[in-house]
Structure 1
Amino acid sequence: MNSLEDLAFKKISECITNGTYDSLDYQLIPYHCDKVVSEILKSGKEWKDEIFRHLMDRNFMLSNLDFEDFELDETGLKFLRNQKILRFLDLGALQNGEDGENETFDVIRFLESSLNPECQKILLKLNIKGTKQFSNGWIQNLSRMFPLLLELSISGRQLFGNSGSLLFKNFPNLVHLDLGGTNLQNLDGIQGMKNLEWLSLKDLDFERSVDLEEIFQLENLKFLDLSASSTPHVSSITYKSFMLLQMLLNTFQLNEAILLCTTDWQNGWRLFEKYIDKIETSIQKLGISFLGVSSTIFLLTPRVLGKLIDEWDETKQDKMDQTDKSLLLARYFKENPVALVGVLMLGALAIAARIYCMHTAGQLVINDLRKTVFNSVLRQDMAFFDKNKVGEIVSRLSTDALIVGYSVSMNLSDGARALLTCLGSGGLMVYTSLAMCKVIVVVVPVIVGTFAVFGKLQRKYTLMMQEAVAGANQVATERLSSVRTVRMLVAEKKELAAYSDKINEIWLISKMEGLAKGCMFGSFQFTGYLALSSILFYGSNLISQGLLTYGELSSFCLYAVLSAGSLSAMSGFYLELMKGLGASSRLFELKDREPKIPLEGGIQKGNVQEAIRFEHVAFGYADRDPLFHNISFDVPAGKITAVVGSSGSGKSTIASLLLRLYDPTNGRILVDGVDLKDLDPSYWRRHIGTVGQEPVLFSTTIRDNIIYGSTEPEKVSEADIVSAAEQSNADEFIMRFPQKYDTKVGEHGSTLSGGQKQRIAIARALVNKPNILIMDEATSALDASSEYLVRIALNKLLANSKQTVMIIAHRLSTIKHADQIVVVDKGSVAECGSYEELIQIPDGIFRKLVEKQTFGFKDQDSY
């Protein structure tokens, strides 16, 4: 600071110490001395109104203004509006500047009314952290308002839908971005922020490893804060990204030691640990023993054969070590050639036994891994399935599991054999002739370098291939599961073209993979033959000098061939290992993911004695705009509550929240005063009967479909099944089938009509005698005849029901007898009351909807 600033600070200190702040001479402060003004604001909070008045009287213009420690009242806002050259603005939490008790904060309206237009054009840094959600459209408007913005902090704000991708798209030039504490769950599009140098993702929950991989593609990133974040395993980190990680380590904030970038090698080690655990049984120990037997036999054979060759050369016999055990064996085999055949046969049998044992051990690991991953997938919350395609998950369980299976069974066994053979033959080559090893020393580095270069390429293309195959599987699964729709719309050619595009993508990747593999094996073959030719040439020279025998040269050549074969096998082992590591990372990503909504655990409550209360509930699906802002209503115990609203208003989502398939982003759901999050989810759902708009049946018998929801199906009696079917009006048509309740329904119930499937679904909901019933638009997809039969079943069910019932209504004529009707509109409850009460409201939403259906007027918001 200059001398004037020093003087100002000295005066400030004296005023604070003496309690005479009002005696400060503001003339001492230069116009643009932001630091001095900042110190005044921080040091004299109790005099802030007077500070602002003095600053405005003297027309102070600041380039940097920090309101973080202040409640921004009218005096502060007035001072802010006067500023014309601000470049850096920290509004902190806007403690009293936010919209009171509203659930959202209209940040654009606030900034437009608070900042001078001249300031908006030149602002470079903005901090608007807080806890409330911003109003819709704030990203695009903020980008338009501050075209030069380089630093943005919105930590703590609740981001919904596609806010993240919109943010990255509209602010591509940001250098500094703070998203800590937001509920952002993916980083789609962040790779477009090429200038980003500082990024905070503190206290976030990521669901996909690809998000972190995209971060590592930001070439200018120098600082990354992942503290207190839940990060998935990164499935693949390139060499460049790994070097970037090393550069960043000194600046990463690891407040809770949460920076986990697990490489594929760590996942491979986890698989190996599983494999070791399985090798406790006798058959796996036996497999290791067979590996030792076969390796010993085929490593000693070349030396014995070399001695056997020299044994036939009478000129060399006097010079041979008569105590050499290899020579003694050679003489024995010379006299008993059948014994040599027997030993070689024993080695072959040992190989066969080793392969069988190791394959069995590997399959045990894969079976365990498949079951574990499938169990983990089944436990995931619905948000996970909203983001991940079923076809890709199935591909991981099938294709990836097969790759991993081979990698840790046959491939691991072959790799161990190749390693033992390579080390053993290398050692015996040194023992046979140290001079001949000079040739090997020259050639081996070339071979190893070839493996390293082309192996890396092979791994890259393998990962790409796995992704492409998963995409093709997804297309095939989705289209074939909806083959009736494809056929009715004559879309076969279109779907064939879509699948062909995926297959062509696989073909292009496979060509690159084949090129990498061909180059590697071609290079290996070249170096192998070059090495063998060099050995024969140099060995012949040594024989002519009397430094080497024909037998020793033969042994050395055989060991060289064994070494080359083992190196070739190790290259194959390496390639398959890379495939397995890439596939295992994808499997472990599924296995290690912790669902946000647990499957079990909590208070076991399955009935409602007073009421279910939705209290200020807000919710939005990932990558979509918020659906609810403030939903509040009660579902009285033992009563029928109907929920109506326009298409897309979130009626079915209310049922999903009640089933706790999702958790509200704000607010809570209370069951007799107990937060739904505190209840055991499985126990709670077990006491709820649900009938959806599109019933899902499994390709088994009608009986099995009805008892599917029972935790102990073997204890469900035939009388219970028939009773549930009678209540749902299903028994009548079931008894007309030749096999009756043992009739197979086909895939997804394809052999039944819509009304029949719906009535079986109702029977399934009733067989457990639930305390709560949820009817989610149960007749909306049916024709008039089927709807009539299902409605009779529902009326029969609800007439004497003592259960707590929630009906998601599509046709409003079905809810006349509901005790309460809740009308949802624009993210909140617009009306609530009985049918008679709501129909009497002039210009009421419910009344208009009834009139539309009654008189046949339909539009995009009708039912």
Structure 2
Amino acid sequence: MKNKQSGIKPFISLILSTNIPKLALTFGLIASVFTTIAGLVVPLLTKNLVDGFSVSSLSVTLVVAIIAAFVLQAVISGVSTYLLTAVGQKIVAKLRENMWIKLIRLPVSYFDKTSSGETVSRVVNDTNIVKDLISEHFPQFITGIISIIGAITILLIMDWKMTLIMMLAVPITVAIMLPLGRRMSKISRGLQDETAVFTGNIQQTLSESRLMKSSNAEESEEGKGLSGIGNLLGFGLKEAKIFALIAPLMQFVVMLVIVIIIAYGGLRVANGTMSTGSLVAFLLYLFQIIMPITSFAMFFTQLQKAKGATERIIEILDIPLEEGQNGLSMDVADKPVRVNHVSFAYDEDDSVLEDVSFVAQPGEMIAFAGPSGGGKTTMFGLLERFYEPTSGEIEIGDTPIRDLSMKSWRSQIGYVSQESAMMAGTIRENLCYGLQNWEEIPDERLWEVAKMAYADQFIKSFPHGLDTEVGERGVKLSGGQRQRIAIARAFLRDPKILMMDEATASLDSQSESVVQQALTRLMEGRTTFVIAHRLSTIVHADNIIFIEKGRITGSGTHQELSQSHELYRQFAKQQLA
């Protein structure tokens, strides 16, 4: 981040961008003023009580007034605290809303470079730091400021000399807090970064628990986890040292001021230039100043932490959205897909595709074959618009697909991947994932698409049928079952264009046979793109595009490539012999 982003201004701008509940904030601050006024009345009443104290002259009215002031202060303080805390909670809720809305609309390239655990840490941990500041420390800071201003004003009127003596503590306090605050800010940023890394590692390890156990990697992962915990402990201890310095130093300054005031005030009382009641009132006002000041130390410490969190939050909010949030809505049925001289690179020095061109006519099956790492999956990513070409154009009919809205384009594409990604939840929720008003889709329609995908029989075998929980990433289902649900999901979407990343490559022969039948049924009448890991699944393709090192080195039917392309002929000889 740039230096200009590390000050207090970005934090304030971030908070203002959340549309602060102005009415609640106004009433909360007004209540704080009344709380302070009620609190400021108590020492004055106490002064009158002490100066005129005797059992015979004890004023019931005065005692009642003191009690009423205490009760009023407590009630209004409660209202004020609730309103200001509610404002803080709403601000942070809005902040999290903004981050979540932004995150799910960021381009795939962001998630390629950033671990999901780190992103989760930004949304949960960093916003929690901001929440603590706004919900807990900020209300105390506001009420404290009002209390201090009121108390100092009355003290200056009562005795300006003693007040100036007391104010000598201010520069001392500032001199203590500024360097410690800067140190805390640096530690906080390091702690937040380390927390994000630790969260990412933990999440990755737990999500791949089967890989960890099958690889006997428990000890290795244990070491990584303990190392992360140790790093967090190191930052935590550094924070503890700062707090350990702040608390005693503030306590020392406070006690020094109290002793000086008592000594000086005692001399004034002794020589008759100040009444005992005035000294008592002065000390009470002093405590009304001291208590907020001690909480200020925590506020400014938390503010330093929040500034660090703000930098990370702003980083996410400043990332450009995925292109195509707005655009044309168009029916792509019966329109050819044209790829014209498309090149793509993830990084400037990492070219993946170079000058790729081909045409897919409506209803055709286009297959991509070639060695691993040649760019087949990247081509799929460009067609799906996970990435934008570095140069060249992809068109549907005569319209560049970048002119279409993402929603319009992707709603007409069915994607069946090799991994068959699934969300934690029920079979019903996975079939309907991403569809609007999915709760209204009748069971008859779901069973229809399940039957078309040859998935109805195994779904019926589960006690809860469509409401069966599939577990995280669908771990409670077999690979073949997950694939058939993915195919049923595609049937339900009724896509105009179908994309398949060799959906049968990782299945056993029995599952492959069933899934292949479902895929054949799904491809009927649709423009289909297939990534081929096994040539046996694409021998009937209308056009096979052979990609090597990002370039098309041959295209045609299976028979044509077998005659004209040496490497394809070798592939065919190895796999189809």
Per the normalisation by structure 1, the TM-score is 0.64
- Asked whether the 8 Å contact 2:49–2:62 carries over to 1, the reply is no
Alpha-carbon offset, residue 442 of structure 1: 2.5
CA deviation vs aligned residue, 1:497-530 (integer Å, no higher than 9, x gap): 1111111111111111111122122211111111
| 1:333/1:819 CA distance change after superposition, 3 Å | farther
Partner of residue 81, structure 1: none
Out of 263, 275, 279, which is 2:22 matched to?
279
In 2, Cα distance between equivalents of 1:333 and 1:794:
94
* Residue pair 1:709, 1:764 contacting (<8 A) in 2 also: no
2:572 is aligned to 850
Task: Please report how far the alpha carbon of residue 756 of structure 1 lies from its aligned counterpart in structure 2 after TM superposition.
Answer: 0.3
SS of the counterpart of 1:661?
coil
Q: How do residues 488-567 of structure 1 correspond to structure 2 at under 5 angstroms? A: 488-567=214-293
User: 1:687-726 counterparts in 2 under 5 A?
Assistant: 687-726=412-451
- The correspondence for 2:479, drawn from 754, 760, 767, is 754
Task: Determine which of 388, 397, 400 is the counterpart of 2:126.
Answer: 400
Task: Tell me which amino acid in the other structure corresponds to 1:795.
Answer: T
Output the aligned Cα RMSD: 2.0
Q: Percent identity?
A: 29
2:38 pairs with one of 297, 311, 322: 297
Q: Distance in 1 between matches of 2:65 and 2:268?
A: 33
Q: Which residue of 1 aligns with 2:535?
A: 812
Asked if the contact 1:401–1:583 (Cα under 8 Å) also holds between the matched residues in 2, the reply is yes
SS in 1 for 2:69: helix
1:839 pairs with one of 552, 559, 562? 562
Q: Do 1:333 and 1:340's aligned partners in 2 also have CA atoms closer than 8 Å?
A: no
Q: Name the structure where helix makes up a greater proportion of residues.
A: 2
CA 1:274–1:828 in structure 2 vs 1: closer, same or farther (change >3 Å)? closer
Aligned length: 576
Q: For the Cα contact (< 8 Å) 2:140–2:292, is it kept in 1?
A: no
Residue 631 of structure 1 and its aligned partner are, at CA, apart by: 1.1
3-state SS, counterpart of residue 634 of structure 1:
strand
User: Separation in 2 of the partners of 1:275 and 1:539?
Assistant: 49
1:728–1:790 contact (8 Å) kept in structure 2: yes
Call closer, same or farther: CA 1:332–1:409 in 2, change over 3 Å: farther
> 1-side partners of 2:174 and 2:14: how far apart?
26
Corresponding residue of 2:95 = 369
- Cα deviation, residue 723, structure 1: 2.3
Structure-2 residue corresponding to 1:175: none
- Runs of 4 or more off by more than 6 Å in structure 1? none
Counterpart mapping for 1:88-99 below 5 A = none
Cα distance in 2 for partners of 1:262, 1:667 equals: 37
Provide the residue aligned with 1:203 in structure 2.
Answer: none
Cα deviation digits, residues 40-81 of structure 1 (max 9, x gap): xxxxxxxxxxxxxxxxxxxxxxxxxxxxxxxxxxxxxxxxxx
Report the Cα distance in structure 1 between the residues aligned to 2:59 and 2:570, rounded to whole angstroms.
103
2:122/2:312 contact within 8 Å kept: yes
Task: Summarize the alignment of residues 421-820 of structure 1 with structure 2, pairs less than 5 Å apart.
Answer: 421-598=147-324, 600-622=325-347, 625-798=350-523, 801-820=524-543
- Distance in 1, Cα, partners of 2:18 & 2:41: 30
Is the Cα contact below 8 Å between 1:303 and 1:555 reproduced in 2? yes
**CA contact 2:416–2:499 (8 Å) conserved in 1:** yes
- 1:267 corresponding residue in structure 2: 10
With CA pairs under 8 Å and 6+ residues apart, which has the higher RCO, 1 or 2? 2
Structure 2 vs 1, CA of residues 665 and 307 (structure 1 numbering), >3 Å: closer, same or farther? Answer: same
Describe the SS at the equivalent of 1:638.
coil
Deviation at 1:724, TM superposition (A): 1.7
Q: Aligned in 2, Cα 1:634/1:549: closer, same or farther, shift over 3 Å?
A: same
Q: TM-score, normalised by structure 2?
A: 0.95
Deviations 1:533-590 (A, max 9, x none): 1111111222222211211111112222221211111221112222223223322322
Instruction: Indicate if the aligned counterparts of 1:613 and 1:670 stay in contact, CA closer than 8 A.
Output: yes
CA distance in 1, matches of 2:14, 2:355: 47
Shift of 1:830: 0.6
Counterpart CA distance in 1 for 2:129 and 2:443 is: 45
Deviation at 1:653, TM superposition (A): 1.2
The residue aligned with 1:823 is 546
- The residue matched to 1:667 in structure 2 has which SS? strand
Amino acid at match of 2:10: N
Within 2, Cα distance between the matches of 1:624 and 1:397? 33
Which residue type is aligned with residue 34 of structure 2? V
- Partner residue in 2 for 1:343: 69
Residue 339 of structure 1, CA deviation: 4.4
| DSSP-derived class of the 1:627 partner | strand
Which amino acid in the other structure matches residue 590 of structure 1?
I
Deviation at 1:313, TM superposition (A): 7.5
Rounded Cα–Cα distance in structure 1 between residues aligned with 2:437 and 2:15: 38
Give how far 1:746 is off.
1.2
Q: Is the Cα contact below 8 Å between 1:776 and 1:809 reproduced in 2?
A: yes
1:803-822 CA distance string (max 9 Å, x none): 10111111110111111110
Q: How far, CA to CA, are the matches of 1:332 and 1:465 in structure 2?
A: 58
CA distance in 2, matches of 1:457, 1:382: 36
Matches of 1:779 and 1:623, distance apart in 2: 34
- Using the alignment, how far apart are the partners of 2:446 and 2:190 within structure 1? 50
Q: CA deviation at 1:486?
A: 1.2
One-letter amino acid of the counterpart of residue 566, structure 2: G
- TM alignment of 1:46-195, pairs within 5 A: none
Aligned partner letter, 2:79: A
Is this contact kept in 1: 2:375–2:549, CA < 8 A? no
Structure 2 CA distance for aligned equivalents of residues 407 and 416 of structure 1:
12
Work out whether residues 39 and 69 of structure 2, in 8 Å CA contact, stay in contact via their aligned partners in 1.
Answer: no
- 1:596: how far off? 4.7
Structure 1: how far apart are the matches of 2:306 and 2:387?
34
- Distance in 2, Cα, partners of 1:440 & 1:275: 40
Provide the rounded CA distance (Å) in 2 between the counterparts of 1:372 and 1:511.
Answer: 33
The residue identity in structure 1 corresponding to 2:199 is N
Greater mean deviation of Cα atoms: 531-540 or 342-351: 342-351
Q: Quick check: 2:366–2:530 contact (8 Å CA) kept in 1? A: yes
For 1:279, the aligned partner's letter is K
Deviation at 1:659, TM superposition (A): 0.9
**1:200-244 CA-partner distances (Å, limit 9, x unpaired):** xxxxxxxxx3xxxxxxxxxxxxxxxxxxxxxxxx4xx3xxxxxxx
Q: Secondary structure of 1:621's partner? A: strand
CA distance in 1, matches of 2:75, 2:538: 77
Note the C-alpha offset of 1:469: 0.9
8 A contact 1:606–1:686 mirrored in 2:
no
Q: How far did residue 644 of structure 1 move?
A: 0.7
Structure 2 distance, partners of 1:463, 1:852, is: 56
User: Residue 383 of structure 1 contacts residue 622 of structure 1 at CA under 8 Å; is this kept in 2?
Assistant: no
Q: Gaps spanning 5+ residues in structure 2: where?
A: none
Q: Structure 2: how far apart are the matches of 1:274 and 1:611?
A: 45
For the residue of structure 2 that corresponds to 1:668, the secondary structure is strand
Q: For residues 441-498 of structure 1, what are the alpha-carbon distances to aligned partners after superposition, in whole Å with 9 as ceiling and x for unaligned? A: 3322101211212112112211211111111111111111111211222212211211
Question: For 2:59 and 2:22, how far apart are their aligned partners in 1?
Answer: 37
Measure the CA separation in 1 of the matches of 2:10 and 2:180. Answer: 22
